């Protein structure tokens, strides 16, 4: 049980919600924290939460949070012994992990070699195939040209997906249903991929029917002991962005969990993994599962697993970084049901347009079994430069129905003014019959797009009209009273004028 | 007594609401031909506790000039509330019609991810015109009406400032 490396101060190479999340655990562990911030983030919550804060550059991420040199320099200047990358930004850049280690600091994350092995999709697939991990039938590597792509698609059968080798976030990704569409879609995917990643290599894989996105949380220590903490179901996605995550998954039983867990552990071992990682799978209607990719970092949705296992994954990350062993697999106990919803500053009624701006008022939910991971506060201006997620709200309860009801209840208490948030949409999604039945897949958001748009019932609308009219009436009356009071107090106005104004005011009220 | 006109669905529907104060905090509100007995108590910022015909509601009002988002337990109702004078002014200005050419502008600084229409093309109300990327998210800007695309100024890959005109629908 030796802890080999001392970690007394951690620089958190991130911003917003996840920076605050990591610092909270650091504070509990008595570890000092360093925040970094860009111009736009001087007033951000993570800056004021941290023990130290270093400015790292202008607002665009590439000039601040993505600038390895500047982030590293901040860590050196503050004599941090470790760097926690959070998620996004530099968290999956092996080059950053290497630079941190070269500078003599601990990178709270996997070895750079593991990140390399999982970073490029085609390399990851080849590595996983070698380790005996099931992968979606597809080309081993990038396909040379359109003719080769056609031959391959004919061999595995339509529909197929054309994907960018360097891809992510849905860019350069095309579904092709028929041989006659292949040419146009291939060209279009190439252009998109070249534009988005500066790399036009493409591969082709089988398209799965009604696939669900189910991922396994793994944890490994330095000696290679590797455990899994069960699954998270993340099929509620809008344009490849997860919106609602839960565990257990409605389609995963103990046997499937054990099988997927075993494969995920094998995947992690195959790349000598260390720390927290997530192996993402697609599970089809027949409950066959295939490796999708491995995220070599903490996930946004990690609170779901924390609620289920009672573990603090950030603490576990830091323990592992210090050289401590992971718990034994049989020590991991999963209880009840946990579910998380991502609150975004966006307007579902206007095509999910982001809604940056000043939060004029914020009241977050409380009560039994509710957790709010937020990076904002009342008065903060949500900047345009970064992701519009303002909070993750999660709920735990003994059963799935109770957990959903609890999250809906908590979302009903969530009040944010000044910007538009997707709260009513989240409630509609959680209450949708398909979601309630656990019968949903990655097509959920698109399939039920219209049904999920908030449409208040006439009774709610009537109450809203009454509320607005009464509020306006109170406001107008107070303004008139204030006006009259000023007139009465004014020595310049004649007594007749004052009397007239006072009468007018009383008259209006009668 | 005061009368207000509420515009719903972005101005497509109108409702008149009459408010009469009967005692401090007590009102009669006439709406859709019915009179409701309302007890209103103002809490902290923007929050109104209402007892309407004996039922308790908590309404949170987020005002932006005449526009207000009314948040109830499970619904957010966006509306615009005008008194008669403001309604007359608004009518004179002809603001809430989509007659005539409608410019589609960038709602915030961002990037044109994709242009989905060409000049001369016929479009339907709600049809996506431009895929706009801002804050790392892609969003579709849609046509406010049935009509014809008369000009397309947006170019794919271009970075634009807020309020930049992207295309016009007539």
In chain A (510 residues long), the average pLDDT of successive 10-residue segments reads 79 97 98 97 95 96 95 97 96 96 97 94 88 86 89 89 76 86 90 79 87 97 97 93 96 97 97 97 92 95 98 98 97 98 91 88 95 94 90 98 98 91 94 97 94 83 94 90 79 66 56
Categorise residue A357: left if φ over 0, alpha if ψ from -120 to 50, beta otherwise. left
Joined tokens for residue A255? 């046997």
pLDDT > 90: percent of chain B: 45
Residue of B nearest to A456 (CA): B75
Chain segment B123-148, per-residue pLDDT in tens: 998 888 998 888 777 778 888 889 99
- For residue B115, the surrounding DSSP H or E stretch is strand B110-115
pLDDT reported for residue A79: 97
pLDDT reported for residue A483: 85
In chain A, residues with a C-beta closer than 8 Å to the C-beta of B79 are 464-465, 468
Contact criterion met (CB < 8 Å) for B79 and A464: yes
Joined tokens for residue A463? 């109450």
Contact criterion met (CB < 8 Å) for B8 and A461: yes
In chain B, residues with a C-beta closer than 8 Å to the C-beta of A424 are 74-76
In chain B, residues with a C-beta closer than 8 Å to the C-beta of A362 are none
Joined tokens for residue A390? 């303002």
Distance between CA atoms of residues B109 and A122, nearest Å: 35
Distance between CA atoms of residues A291 and A2, nearest Å: 35
Mean pLDDT of B103-110: 87
State the smallest CA–CA distance between residue A228 and chain B in angstroms.
31
Looking at per-residue confidence, does A505 or B65 come out higher? B65
Residue of B nearest to A507 (CA): B1
Contact criterion met (CB < 8 Å) for B135 and A461: no
In chain A, residues with a C-beta closer than 8 Å to the C-beta of B73 are 412
Contact criterion met (CB < 8 Å) for B46 and A509: no
For B31, the closest of A350, A466, A473 (CB atoms) is A466
State the smallest CA–CA distance between residue A3 and chain B in angstroms.
40
Contact criterion met (CB < 8 Å) for A463 and B50: yes
Tell me if B159 sits within 8 A of B111, measured CB to CB. Answer: yes
ipTM summary value: 0.75
Tell me if A172 sits within 8 A of A193, measured CB to CB. Answer: yes
Q: A111, A297, A400, A406: which is the annotated catalytic residue? A: A297
Residue of A nearest to B60 (CA): A415
Q: Which of A352, A425, A466, A509 to mutate to test the interface with B (most CBs of B within 10 A)?
A: A466
Q: Which of A471, A481, A507, A509 to mutate to test the interface with B (most CBs of B within 10 A)?
A: A471
pLDDT reported for residue A510: 37
Contact criterion met (CB < 8 Å) for B27 and A473: yes
- For residue A206, the surrounding DSSP H or E stretch is strand A202-206
Determine whether A125 is an active site residue. no
Contact criterion met (CB < 8 Å) for B61 and A471: yes
Distance between CA atoms of residues A263 and A214, nearest Å: 13
Does B8 reach chain A within 8 Å, measured CB to CB? yes
Tell me which of A1-15, A96-110, B5-19, B52-66 is least confident: A1-15
Contact criterion met (CB < 8 Å) for B78 and A467: no
| Total beta-carbon pairs less than 8 A apart between chain A and chain B | 152
The interface residues of chain B toward chain A in range 25-44, judged by CB-CB distance below 8 A, are 27, 29, 31-32, 36, 38, 40, 42
The dihedral sign for the CA sequence A299, A300, A304, A306: positive
Distance between CA atoms of residues B2 and A509, nearest Å: 9
State the smallest CA–CA distance between residue A455 and chain B in angstroms.
8
Joined tokens for residue A241? 């962005």
Closest CA to A133 of A290, A293, A294: A290
Mean pLDDT of B67-82: 89
Contact criterion met (CB < 8 Å) for A465 and B79: yes
DSSP string for residues in A22-53: HHHHHHHTT-EEEEEEEGGGTT-HHHHHSSEE
Distance between CA atoms of residues A92 and A111, nearest Å: 11
pLDDT reported for residue A492: 64
Beta bridge partners of A242: A237
Contact criterion met (CB < 8 Å) for B60 and A360: no
Distance between CA atoms of residues A496 and A94, nearest Å: 81
Does B129 reach chain A within 8 Å, measured CB to CB? no
Contact criterion met (CB < 8 Å) for B77 and A417: no
pLDDT reported for residue A508: 45
Whole-structure pTM value: 0.82
A171: CB partners within 8 A, 6+ apart: A164, A192, A193, A196, A197
Residue of B nearest to A241 (CA): B137
For B109, the closest of A239, A384, A388 (CB atoms) is A384
pLDDT reported for residue B11: 80
C-beta neighbour count of A377 within 10 angstroms: 13
Closest CA to A111 of A11, A222, A227, A5: A222
Q: Is the pLDDT score of B110 beyond 60?
A: yes
Distance between CA atoms of residues B115 and B61, nearest Å: 37
State the smallest CA–CA distance between residue A394 and chain B in angstroms.
17
Joined tokens for residue A23? 């610092």
Does B126 reach chain A within 8 Å, measured CB to CB? no
Which residue's entry shows tokens 């260390």? A274
Joined tokens for residue A286? 């027949």
Q: What are the C-alpha distances in Å from A175 to residues A184, A186, A205?
A: 11, 10, 10
Q: What is the average pLDDT value for chain B, to the nearest integer?
A: 87
pLDDT reported for residue B150: 93
Closest CA to A67 of A110, A37, A46: A37
Tell me if B77 sits within 8 A of B69, measured CB to CB. Answer: yes
Does B66 reach chain A within 8 Å, measured CB to CB? no
State the smallest CA–CA distance between residue A273 and chain B in angstroms.
29
- For residue A127, the surrounding DSSP H or E stretch is helix A121-130
pLDDT > 70: percent of chain B: 96
Contact criterion met (CB < 8 Å) for A461 and B77: yes
């Amino acid at each position: 049980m030796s802890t080999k490396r001392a970690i007394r101060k951690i620089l958190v190479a991130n911003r917003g919600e996840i920076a605050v999340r990591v610092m909270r655990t650091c504070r509990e562990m008595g570890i000092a924290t360093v925040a970094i911030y860009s111009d736009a983030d001087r007033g951000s919550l993570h800056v004021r939460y941290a023990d130290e804060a270093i400015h790292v550059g202008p607002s665009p991420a590439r000039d601040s949070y993505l600038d390895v040199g500047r982030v590293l320099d901040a860590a050196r200047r503050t004599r941090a012994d470790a760097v926690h990358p959070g998620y996004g930004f530099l968290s999956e850049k092996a080059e950053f992990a290497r630079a941190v280690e070269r500078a003599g600091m601990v990178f709270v994350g996997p070895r750079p070699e593991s990140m390399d092995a999982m970073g490029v999709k085609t390399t990851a697939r080849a590595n996983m195939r070698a380790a005996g991990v099931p992968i979606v039938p597809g080309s081993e590597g990038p396909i040379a040209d359109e003719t080769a792509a056609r031959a391959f698609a004919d061999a595995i059968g339509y529909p197929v997906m054309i994907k960018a080798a360097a891809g992510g976030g849905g860019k350069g990704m095309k579904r092709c249903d028929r041989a006659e569409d292949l040419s146009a879609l291939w060209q279009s995917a190439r252009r998109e991929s070249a534009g988005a990643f500066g790399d036009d290599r493409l591969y082709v894989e089988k398209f799965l029917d009604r696939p669900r996105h189910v991922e396994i949380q793994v944890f490994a220590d330095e000696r290679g002991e590797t455990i899994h903490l069960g699954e998270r179901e993340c099929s509620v996605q809008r344009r490849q962005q997860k919106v609602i995550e839960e565990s257990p998954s409605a389609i995963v039983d103990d046997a499937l969990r054990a099988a997927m867990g075993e494969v995920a552990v094998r995947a992690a071992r195959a790349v000598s993994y260390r720390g927290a990682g997530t192996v993402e799978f697609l599970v089809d209607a027949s409950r066959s599962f295939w490796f999708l990719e491995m995220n070599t970092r903490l996930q946004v949705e990690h609170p779901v697993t924390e609620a289920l296992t009672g573990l603090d994954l950030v603490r576990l990350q830091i323990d592992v970084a210090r050289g401590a062993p992971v718990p034994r697999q049989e020590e991991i106990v999963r209880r009840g049901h946990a579910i998380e919803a991502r609150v975004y500053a966006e307007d579902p009624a206007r095509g999910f347009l982001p809604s940056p701006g000043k939060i004029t008022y914020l009241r977050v939910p409380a009560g039994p079994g509710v957790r709010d991971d937020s990076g904002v506060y009342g008065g903060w201006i949500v900047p345009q430069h970064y992701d519009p997620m303002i909070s993750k709200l999660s709920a735990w309860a003994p059963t799935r129905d109770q957990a959903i009801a609890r999250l809906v209840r908590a979302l009903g208490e969530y009040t944010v003014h000044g910007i538009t948030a997707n709260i009513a949409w989240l409630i509609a999604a959680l209450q949708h019959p398909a979601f309630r039945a656990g019968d949903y897949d990655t097509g959920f958001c698109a399939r039920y797009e219209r049904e999920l748009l908030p449409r208040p019932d006439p009774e709610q609308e009537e109450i809203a009209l009454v509320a607005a009219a009464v509020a306006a009436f109170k406001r107008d009356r107070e303004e008139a009273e204030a006006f009259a009071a000023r007139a009465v107090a004014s020595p310049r106005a004649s007594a007749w004028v004052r009397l007239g104004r006072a009468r007018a005011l009383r008259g209006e009220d009668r | 007594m005061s009368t207000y006109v509420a515009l719903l669905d972005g101005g497509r529907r109108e409702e008149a609401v009459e408010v009469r104060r009967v005692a401090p905090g007590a009102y009669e509100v006439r709406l859709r031909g019915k009179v409701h007995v309302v007890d209103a108590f103002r809490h902290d910022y923007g929050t109104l506790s209402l007892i309407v015909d004996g039922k308790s509601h908590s309404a949170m009002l987020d005002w932006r000039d005449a526009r207000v988002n009314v948040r109830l337990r499970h619904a957010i109702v966006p509306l615009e509330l005008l008194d008669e004078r403001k309604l007359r002014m608004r009518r004179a200005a002809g603001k809430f019609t989509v007659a005539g050419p409608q410019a589609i502008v960038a709602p915030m600084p961002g990037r044109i991810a994709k242009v989905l229409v060409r000049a001369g093309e016929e479009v339907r109300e709600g049809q996506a015109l431009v895929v706009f990327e801002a804050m790392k998210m892609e969003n579709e800007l849609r046509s406010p009406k049935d009509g014809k695309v008369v000009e397309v100024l947006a170019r794919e890959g271009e970075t634009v400032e807020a309020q930049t005109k992207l295309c016009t629908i007539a």
